[in-house]
Structure 1
């Protein structure tokens, strides 16, 4: 059972917000290699996506996946971010690292 179900939504969102940070793609390589990085479309709110993961909102996550607004980072995107040493917004919702390129 997900421990986040017992936390008030506003408290959980505040916790997620506090844990969100800008990080270099170079620092995320080991997570990418493990297949643990998901890219969040710039059209979505990273906190809302993280909240959906934390509260196990499977229908919403499935909809984002189906619409292509959420998914694994493709190799060509990973290579471009690596070459450009891109800084990304990121938050960990174990086992995933959610990343978002606000410049995209």
Structure 2
């Protein structure tokens, strides 16, 4: 369970925003986009990346819930233009497809 009172979690939550694929394409071109599965808390993943929580990140990577965004998914996003949410944890931009507000995902 993520500690949603963690100051960094709160900061990342405040920096999470809805974004279109067009704005993310330059980050994809640089290989800086990480895809977060819809069933995972985007901000919790961002927190783990920011805090270098290797065990959590490895578990998500191993479970396919976190991955570098692949070309086939990028083409799909370009074609469909779904609602996306993103948060920056330099050098990465973590992105997730979903239509609801991130605050509703606790």
TM band (smaller chain):
0.7 to 0.9
Unpaired runs of at least 5, structure 2: 100-106
Where has structure 1 moved over 6 Å in runs of 4 or more? none
Q: How many residues align?
A: 95
Larger displacement relative to structure 2 (47-56 or 79-88): 79-88
Task: Tell me the CA shift for residue 46 of structure 1.
Answer: 0.4
Matched, 1:51 2:47: yes
TM-score by length of 1: 0.86
CA-based RMSD of the aligned residues comes to 1.2
Q: Distance in 1 between matches of 2:69 and 2:50?
A: 20
Matched, 1:65 2:61: yes
Task: Tell me the CA shift for residue 85 of structure 1.
Answer: 2.2
Q: Distance in 1 between matches of 2:21 and 2:83?
A: 6
TM-score by length of 2: 0.85
Matches within 5 A, 1:15-94: 15-94=11-90
Unpaired runs of at least 5, structure 1: 1-8
Structure number, greater radius of gyration: 1
Equivalent residue for 2:98, pick from 81, 98, 102: 102
